Amino acid sequence: MSDQRKPLVKHIFTADPSAHVFDGKFYIYPSHDLAHECIDNDRGDEYAMEDYHILRMDSPESECVDCGEALHMKDVPWVSKQMWAPDAALKDGKYYLYFPARDKDEIFRLGVAVSDKPEGPFTPDPDYIPGSFSIDPAVLQDDDGRYYVYYGGLWGGQLENWCSGAFDENDHGPSGDEPALGPMFAQLSGDMHSFASKPKHLVILDENGDPIRAGDEDRRYFEGPWMHKYQGKYYLSYSTGTTHYLVYATGDSPDGPFTYRGRLMEPVIGWTTHHSIVEYKGRWYMFYHDCEMSNGINHQRCVKYTEIFYNEDGTIQTVHPYGDQ
């Protein structure tokens, strides 16, 4: 039986897991941390990922299988380095892998690759999605058949460098009491290869209906958006970055506004927190990562999972990753 809150695989370092149920099985789309010597910085240069390995679990009780390399940066013409956190979607029998990477000018963009199988291999488009930028794409298939992508990360993810509408490496975004930046949102086109709507920032509100402030580091958006639906509500969850929480907000529409509801998970070992939430046979699971396997080395992470539970009012019980196993 699979042991929850233990590394899914140990032969490679994996992080940023986006989990889906395809064909009745869990498919997990993580990034692949390389073991190397480096110094951490705010740009995230220590995260030198080059490829993707898709993981599979036949059920929550099954062992996890590494399906092998699904895509490498050498096969993506526009990429220069750092293929970070991906996600995947299924439409009309085709599987679409969405991923961020630095282009030849070292600006983060979003790419898409296609396969006939959930584990790949994936064939990438020759160029990045027009109008895309930043990191951490997450795709929601809504009940009406529309697909939406959520993305964006501060600091190394360059989200704040686009406040003027064009890339400006000197733009540091809002601070203090100014409204915080939310993640980006766009509808995907029918062929899944481009944006069907102009991307926009989502608004996250506090309990009084006011925008969360940039200085509110316990609640403001930093990176790693994920969207799921529960009992008709949209749940936007994300990482606070500097304070290392996973938190969530809810709304009545895929593009918000969203109201902050609470903490999803307390801090894990390591700096970053990145997750996904998926339903399997009426039960809900959260996939995430920490640095326990590497004794705290931030760029050598391992993917884990745990079951999560909803209260009657729709709030989610906070996960304590090491204290209530």
Of 124, 130, 118, 113, nearest in space to 186 by CA: 130
Q: Is 125 a catalytic residue?
A: no
Q: Is 223 a catalytic residue?
A: yes
Which residues does 135 contact at the CB level (< 8 Å), separation at least 6?
84, 85, 100, 108, 151, 152, 153, 156, 157, 158, 159, 223
Rounded-to-integer distance, Cα 36 and Cα 117, Å? 31
Paired strand residues for 96: 89, 114
Q: Catalytic: which of 16, 160, 290, 292?
A: 16
Q: Is 162 exposed, middle or buried (0-12, 13-18, 19+ CB in 10 A)?
A: buried
Catalytic residue among 46, 119, 136, 223: 223
Catalytic residues: 16, 223
